[in-house]
Amino acid sequence: MGLGWAGTEGFRAIFAAMNASIVRLDSPLEPDVSVPAPDRLLAGNPEHRVWNHFADSTQTFFAGRWSGTRGKWRVRYTENELCVMTAGRVVITSESGESGTFGAGDAFVIPAGFAGTWEVLEDCSKIYAIFEPRE
């Protein structure tokens, strides 16, 4: 029996859709633990924990949870990131001096190309969705 209208690509798409499932961002998962590189660290001794619950097959889209302890470090984004703060308070400042303070319930996007600093004023956590285009 042939694949008819679907062809090989159509069959693959149907198969993938049948096996797709919703990914919970609160399922048990061991975090990746890190600290800012010494040349980026500006204040404190912050520790970061990342629970990356989802990565698409192209490795360009990611989603999960992140937490950080108090401190300040330099950042340079190559990705676009949607952040939804779930706890704590942070100040994000661009190289040009624009800054925003964000706390639990706040949502914002950091675009690719952003450079500046992250400062955690109160130990914090966020839900993130990242899109990093391939060059």
Q: Whole-prediction pTM value?
A: 0.83
Q: What is the pLDDT of residue 77?
A: 97
Residue 113 is predicted with a pLDDT of: 96
Q: Which residues of the chain have pLDDT under 70?
A: 1-19
SS3 of residue 135 by DSSP: coil
Measured CA to CA, the distance from residue 7 to residue 27 in angstroms comes to 36
Which pLDDT belongs to residue 133? 86
Predicted pLDDT of residue 19: 59
> What six digits make up the tokens of 2?
């042939």
Which tokens go with 1? 């029996």
d(CA 49, CA 120): 13
Q: Which fold does the domain 25-131 belong to in CATH?
A: Jelly Rolls (2.60.120)
